[in-house]
Amino acid sequence: MEKTVNNKAWFLVLPVLVIVAFSAVIPLMTVVNYAFNDTFGNNQFFWAGFEWFEDTVTSSRMHDALGRQILFSGIILAIEVPLGIFIALNMPKKGFWASFCLVLMALPLLIPFNVVGTIWQIFGRVDIGLLGRTLASLGIDYNYTNDWLDAWITIVVMDVWHWTSLVALLAYAGLQSIPQAYYQAAKIDQASRWAIFRYIELPKMQGVLLIAVLLRFMDSFMIYTEPFVLTGGGPGNSTTFLSIDLVKMAVGQFDLGPAAAFSLMYFLVILLVSWVFYTVMTNMDRENMQ
């Protein structure tokens, strides 16, 4: 539907522009400044050109962090999206239990990130944590502070616990919008359960699922708080994701130049991926309109 064009409406955006300028654009310009200069304190800057960018792009440390990051996002998407759909398919469609499930599903989403990290940090401890103790008593050698695989598993499980609900709720909303007639028609056509999923439910959920994937990708790609609280990036560097690495570089080592260049590229990567998603989605919309 076409909306009326009224150019005066732009003035209403002005306050937001001012606020965004102060809160985002000006700090961002500082980062840009650091990314292209070198400094030894005292507010003295030396032009470094693209040196920091070259360093970052060629640094193996960055490559490793990026690799871990992509692996992590890939794993959690591969688990959370199918699991979320599966949960949505099995949730009650109406009545008391539907509302009950919705509230239950929403709970993990309401917990602050660092609290989630703390919960799992304690939960998984071998000395006092319920999970750690239980596993230990079953004879399983589990220690997320020593073993990189245990650390990974713990972080992945934590993220799945925290965020699968989001995918499930979105998928559930998509499922609810399918008219009953489709299921009735499928019964009459003797479609199998798989065929119903493949030809009715999945196509109708497509739109919300893309949103779910986009949200989960962006969030997981920027993940910081939970692994920082849980493992601090260890053992070794095994759970040092991009944002953790960035903070280590900027705050820990005070390498402001490379960190600034790093964060700019980080930002651009996320922007690029989101843009690709957006384009794909709008194209799909257009197809639907035809």
Partner 1 sequence: MAQITLSNLAHSYLAQPKSDADYALKAMDHVWEDGGAYALLGSSGCGKTTLLNIISGLLRPSQGRVLFGDRDVTEAPTAARNIAQVFQFPVVYDTMTVRQNLAFPLRNRGMDPGYIAGRVNHIAAMIGMEERLDRKAKGLTADAKQKISLGRGMVREDVNAILFDEPLTVIDPHMKWELRTQLKSLHREFGHTMIYVTHDQTEALTFADKVVVMYDGRVVQMGTPEELFERPAHTFVGYFIGSPGMNLLSAEVNGAQARVLGGTVDLPASYKASGKVQIGIRPEHVQLTAGDGLPVKINRVEDIGRHRLVRAETAGQSLNIVLPEGASLGPDLTHARFTPEKISVYADDWRIEGVR
Partner 2 sequence: MTLELQDVTRSVNGRVQIHPTSLVLERGTMNVLLGPTLAGKTSLMRLMAGLDQPSAGRVLWNGADVTGQRVQDRGVAMVYQQFINYPGLTVYDNIASPLRILKRPAAEVDRAVRETAEMLRLTPMLGRKPLELSGGQQQRCALARALVKGAGLVLLDEPLANLDYKLREELRVEIPRIFEASGAIFVYATTEPEEALLLGGQTATLWEGRVTQIGPTTQVYRQPSDMVTARVFSDPPMNFASARIAQGQLILGDGATTAAQGAFSGLQDGEYTAGFRANHLNLSKVSENALGFPCKVLVTEITGSETYLHLSYAGQRWVALVHGVQQLAAGATISIWIDPRHIYLFDGSGTLAAPAGYALTEKAA
Applying CB under 8 A, the residues found at the interface with partner 1 are 179, 181-182, 184-185, 187-192, 195, 199-200, 203, 287-288, 290
What b/e readout covers 211-242, taking b as 16+ CB neighbours within 10 angstroms? ebbbebbebbbbbbbbbbbbbebbbebbbbbb
Could you say whether residue 180 binds partner 2 (CB under 8 A)?
no
Tell me how far, at minimum, the Cβ of 190 lies from partner 1, in Å.
Answer: 4
- Name the one residue in this structure whose structure tokens are 């960018």: 53
Tell me how far, at minimum, the Cβ of 28 lies from partner 1, in Å.
Answer: 42
- Taking the least distance from each CB to partner 2, the nearer of 5 and 138 is 5
Could you say whether residue 5 binds partner 2 (CB under 8 A)?
yes
Could you say whether residue 128 binds partner 2 (CB under 8 A)?
no
181 binds, among partner 2, partner 1, none (CB under 5 to 8 A by kind): partner 1
The DSSP bridge pattern shows strands 45-47 and 37-39 to be antiparallel
Could you say whether residue 6 binds partner 2 (CB under 8 A)?
yes
6 binds, among partner 2, partner 1, none (CB under 5 to 8 A by kind): partner 2
Per the CB < 8 A criterion, the answer to whether 85 and 167 are in contact is yes
176 binds, among partner 2, partner 1, none (CB under 5 to 8 A by kind): none
Tell me how far, at minimum, the Cβ of 172 lies from partner 1, in Å.
Answer: 20
Tell me how far, at minimum, the Cβ of 174 lies from partner 2, in Å.
Answer: 23
Backbone angles phi, psi at 37, to 5 degrees: -130, 165
Size of the residue set binding partner 2 (CB under 8 A): 4
d(CA 177, CA 88): 13
Judged by CB under 8 A, which stretch of 4-12, 77-85, 120-128, 242-250 contacts partner 2? Answer: 4-12
- Taking the least distance from each CB to partner 2, the nearer of 192 and 290 is 290
State CA 101 to chain mean position distance.
23
Residues 6+ apart with CB under 8 A from 262: 52, 56, 62, 245, 246, 249
Could you say whether residue 287 binds partner 2 (CB under 8 A)?
no
Could you say whether residue 4 binds partner 2 (CB under 8 A)?
yes
Could you say whether residue 2 binds partner 2 (CB under 8 A)?
yes
Tell me how far, at minimum, the Cβ of 192 lies from partner 1, in Å.
Answer: 7
Cross-strand partners of 38: 46
195 binds, among partner 2, partner 1, none (CB under 5 to 8 A by kind): partner 1
What single DSSP character describes residue 238? T
Concatenating the DSSP letter of every residue in 64-122 gives: HHHHHHHHHHHHHHHHHHHHHHHHHHHS-SSSHHHHHHHHHHHHHHHS-HHHHHHHHHH
Could you say whether residue 181 binds partner 2 (CB under 8 A)?
no
State CA 280 to chain mean position distance.
19
d(CA 146, CA 144): 6
Q: Binding residues for partner 2, per CB under 8 A?
A: 2, 4-6
